[in-house]
Amino acid sequence: MDLMSVQKLSVDQRVSDVSLGLQQGEILGLIGPNGAGKSTLLNAIAGLLDSSGEIELSGQKINQLRRVERARKVALQPQFVESVWALSVHDIVSMGRLPWGDSDQTIIQRVMQQTNIQDFARRPVNELSGGERARVWLARVLANQPRVLLVDEPVANLDIHYQQEVMQILVDYANEGHAVIIAIHDLSLAARYCDRLCLLHRGQQIKTGKVEDVLNSQVLSPVFDVDVYVDLQNSPPVVLAQ
């Protein structure tokens, strides 16, 4: 059985009739041009937007859960996060435990190690660099230990070193028996790290499947309105506009 199944999910005119299945251990990449509906879809799955259709988690309808129970199972890392107050890194990671109502130090210490932020645990988050901050935000959702982790463009503003690091953290998290849905613009990274991809365009689900089925120039070129060069045999794989 799928860990999560999404059936005919629609949000206003922004996303229509999206159906997805998500296996344990899997990273599903949401790709598509700007405005395709990637963030809307993630927000709807997280329960932040009113939507029609059905989402089931291990066979249970997700909208029958209380808000806080849903938040324990499905966690969202939005694209833009900022802390208004100069909170310490440790306090921010601890906030991941808010849905559970505890501050489980074992989990908090473990995710700080996984994301390699334990060295600056006591420092205020606003003093950190962009790459360090990105890992702190990620540690916050990981501390929640959701079954399904939703991440919106976690690598958009990072240098190639941190891009790799963040993607590897997500792979490791999925391999621990969870699942990850990631909205991502960088198609080369998507090719390298995602198990399956879902291509969206103007709110429509164009194609969903294995990386090689979605990432080919016949599929991508009309959607992105540009000739796309794809070399999945290369290591790492390359997907670029020509």
Partner 1 sequence: MSRTLEFGFNQSIGGMEKYLNPFLIMTLLVVTLVSISFGTIDLNALTALMEWFAASDSREALIVGEIRLPRTLLALIVGAAMGLSGAALQGLFRNPLVDPGLIGASQGAALGAALVFYFNLFSSLGALATPIAGLIGAAITLFLLMGLSGSMARPAVIIMAGLAISSLASALLAVVLNFAPNPYAMQELVFWMLGSVSNRGLDNLAILLPAFALGSIVIYRQRQLLLGLSLGEQVADSMGLEVVKRGRYIILGTALLVGSSVAIAGNIGFVGLVIPHLIRPLVKYRPDRLLVPSALAGATVVCSADILVRLLPPERELKLGVLTALVGAPFFVWLIWKERQRWI
81 binding partner 1? (CB under 8 A) = yes
Look at strands 204-210 and 196-201 and give their pairing: antiparallel
Q: Is 76 in the site for partner 1 (CB under 8 A)?
A: yes
H or E segment and range at residue 188: helix 187-193
Quick one: which of 134, 139, 135 has its CA closest to 93?
Answer: 139
Among 3, 36, 62, 94, binds partner 1 (CB under 8 A): 94
Nearer to partner 1, 81 or 238 (CB): 81
Cα separation, 22 vs 177, whole angstroms: 12
- Phi/psi for 70 (5° steps) reads -60, -40
Among the listed residues 18, 20, 22, 75, the single contact to partner 1 using CB under 8 A: 75
The stretch near partner 1 (CB under 8 A) out of 23-31, 63-71, 212-220, 224-232 is 63-71
CA atoms of 8 and 16, how far apart (whole Å): 7
Q: Is 240 in the site for partner 1 (CB under 8 A)?
A: no
Chosen residue from 5, 10, 87, 128 binding partner 1 by CB under 8 A: 87
Among 8, 35, 48, 234, binds partner 1 (CB under 8 A): 48
Q: What are phi and psi of 229, to 5 degrees?
A: -95, 125
Nearest distance, CB of residue 91 and partner 1, angstroms: 6
CB 78 → partner 1: shortest distance, Å?
5
**Cα–Cα nearest to 9, from 47, 44, 39:** 44
Alpha carbon separation from 175 to 51, 119, 144, 160 (Å, rounded): 30, 25, 16, 23
> How near is the Cβ of 90 to partner 1 at its closest, in Å?
7
Q: Taking contact as CB under 8 A, which single stretch among the options 51-59, 97-105, 168-176, 192-200 is the one that binds partner 1?
A: 97-105
C-alpha to C-alpha distance for 202 and 224, rounded to whole angstroms: 11
127 binds partner 1 (CB under 8 A): no
Name the 3-class secondary structure at 179. Answer: strand
Contact residues: partner 1, CB under 8 A: 43, 46-48, 66-72, 75-76, 78, 80-88, 90-92, 94-95, 97-99, 101-105, 124, 140, 144
